[in-house]
Amino acid sequence: MGDSVQRVVAYFADGLVARLLTRKSPFYDMIMKEPTAEEEFLAFTCLYRVSPYYQFAHFTANQAIIEAYEKEEEFNNRALHVIDFDVAYGFQWPSLIQSLSDKASGGNRISLRLTGFGTSFAELQETENRLVSFAKGFRNLVFEFQGLLRGSKLTNLRKKKNETVAVNLVFHLNTLNNSMKISDTLKSVRSHRPSIVVLVEQEGGRSPRSFLSRFMESLHYFAAMFDSLDDCLPLESAERLSIEKNHLGKEIKSMTNCDKDEENNKSSSRYEKMETWKSRMESHGFEGTKLSSKCLIQAKLLLKITTHYCPLQCEGEVNGGFRVFERDEAKALSLGWQDRCLLTASAWQCV
């Protein structure tokens, strides 16, 4: 099966071969064959459980949302409304439900309303069932879920008086195919004047550069991702093979053929640097806010629990393994593998 380097190279080789083929070729379909929904869910679940990658993103975003709620607790009628632009399987929200329940008292319940965008009605229904079932275990919390198909307009949102509104942009903006769609999304977000916008994106170098430059950027990124699995699972683990084939491998082949996807209006992720997102957010009327020390402590604890722990690092230090970077004067927090930044979380408010 090869080591992590050989495996990541194999997936990139498949992506390059597919790039040279036409979509009518049977070999193209064979190489680019999508995993089933069940295989994709299993791979995501495995990666979520064994690696700090997604948990770091979700826990950091949730902590920022909770703190925004706490700042307005005196006048928000104990109501929080989260708008999640890519709710997917809903794995981010059980920890928020539990944290809010811990804050609530039996006679003074907290209301949490989640508006989530998804790719299909079936996925939204499964996510709603999963979250509603989980929330039933917390009697001091009132939970509501509203599912919307991705691309729907945020025009008829039911809003409670003085509720705290939080917008969750976790791994969403990089899936939009062009700058105009990103701009339209940010304009729509700002029009609702949320108390906080949390942004989490993978770190890369999306720009109008040559294909070779983008290819090398992606190769280095996913080489780090495959290498980081050494800290989480044995090389021959069935779970690891599932993650590599049905999650990371799928993403690699999609990214190497992203221009074909865009021609066919198909969503394809491309990663940008934190500085690019910062510029975009500021140009659309948002300003960054500092992430609290609780976010740092939480990230430090997460690494200790889920991996071969590497202490909290200052920016620029290299000490191997997973590590956390504070960036932009503590307005951003990044998860890295060795000297490679993998993803960055930040919080924003309307100017």
pLDDT at 152 over 90: no
Name the band, by pLDDT with cuts 50, 70 and 90, for residue 206: low
- Residue 213 and residue 194 share a domain: no
- Residue 345 and residue 323 share a domain: yes
Residue type, 227: D
Q: 302 φ, ψ to 5°?
A: -60, -45
Residue 175 lies in a domain: yes
- Residue 335 and residue 290 share a domain: yes
pLDDT at 130 over 60: yes
- Residue 313 and residue 221 share a domain: no
Cα–Cα distance measured from residue 200 to residue 57, given in angstroms and rounded to the nearest whole number: 6
Name the band, by pLDDT with cuts 50, 70 and 90, for residue 178: confident
Which pLDDT does position 308 carry in this prediction? Answer: 55
Q: How far is CA 157 from CA 115, 192, 274, in A?
A: 9, 10, 30
- Residue 253 and residue 188 share a domain: no
Which pLDDT does position 213 carry in this prediction? Answer: 84
- Residue 122 and residue 60 share a domain: yes
- Residue 199 and residue 220 share a domain: no
Calculate the CA 85 to chain-centre distance.
10
Cβ distance 118 to 85 under 8 Å? no
Burial class (CB in 10 A: 0-12, 13-18, 19+), 6: exposed
- Residue 107 and residue 166 share a domain: yes
Residues of the domain holding 29: 4-33+205-263
Residue 169 lies in a domain: yes
Residue 301 lies in a domain: yes
- Residue 340 and residue 255 share a domain: no
Residue 45 lies in a domain: no
Residue 196 lies in a domain: yes
- Residue 190 and residue 147 share a domain: yes
Q: How is residue 29 written in tokens? A: 């379909």
pLDDT at 85 over 90: yes
Which pLDDT does position 211 carry in this prediction? Answer: 82
The residues pairing with 192 across neighbouring beta strands, listed in sequence order, are: none
Name the band, by pLDDT with cuts 50, 70 and 90, for residue 210: confident
- Residue 192 and residue 241 share a domain: no
pLDDT at 37 over 90: yes
Residue 43 lies in a domain: no
Output the 3-class SS for 288-307. EECCCHHHHHHHHHHHHHHC
Cβ distance 126 to 166 under 8 Å? no
pLDDT at 106 over 50: yes
Q: How is residue 76 written in tokens? A: 């928000």
Choose the most confident range, by mean pLDDT, from 18-32, 203-217, 218-232: 218-232
Name the band, by pLDDT with cuts 50, 70 and 90, for residue 267: low
Residue 39 lies in a domain: no
Name the band, by pLDDT with cuts 50, 70 and 90, for residue 153: confident
pLDDT at 25 over 70: yes
pLDDT at 313 over 60: no
Mean pLDDT, the chain, rounded, equals 89
Residue written as tokens 């074909």? 260
Q: How is residue 53 written in tokens? A: 């990658």
If you average pLDDT over residues 296-300, what whole number do you get? Answer: 94
In the chain, the number of structural domains is: 2
Q: How many CB atoms lie within 10 A of CB 333?
A: 25
pLDDT at 133 over 80: yes
Cα pseudo-dihedral 325, 281, 196, 91, rounded to 10: -60
Cβ distance 351 to 287 under 8 Å? yes
Output the 3-class SS for the chain. CCCHHHHHHHHHHHHHHHHHCCCCCHHHHHHCCCCCHHHHHHHHHHHHHHCHHHHHHHHHHHHHHHHHHHHCCCCCCCEEEEEECCCCCCCCHHHHHHHHHHHCECCECEEEEEEEEECCHHHHHHHHHHHHHHHCCCCCEEEEEEEEECCCCCCCCCCCCCCEEEEEEECCHHHCCCHHHHHHHHHHHHHCCCCEEEEEEEECCCCCCCHHHHHHHHHHHHHHHHHHHHHCCCCCCHHHHHHHHHHHHHHHHHHHCHHHHHHCCCCCCCCECHHHHHHHHHHCCEEEECCCHHHHHHHHHHHHHHCCCCCCCCCCCCCCCEEEEEECCCCEEEEEECCEEEEEEEEEEEC
pLDDT at 105 over 80: no
pLDDT at 325 over 90: no
If you average pLDDT over residues 89-116, what whole number do you get? Answer: 92
pLDDT at 262 over 80: no
pLDDT at 281 over 90: yes
Last residue of a domain, one of 228, 263, 298: 263
Q: How many CB atoms lie within 10 A of CB 240?
A: 23
- Residue 128 and residue 159 share a domain: yes
Q: How is residue 255 written in tokens? A: 């990214």
pLDDT at 216 over 70: yes
Report the predicted TM-score, pTM, of the whole model to 2 decimal places: 0.92
Which pLDDT does position 297 carry in this prediction? Answer: 94
For residue 125, give the nearest of 154, 87, 152 by alpha carbon.
87
CATH of the domain at 283: 3.40.50.150
Which pLDDT does position 82 carry in this prediction? Answer: 98
pLDDT at 225 over 70: yes
Residue type, 90: G
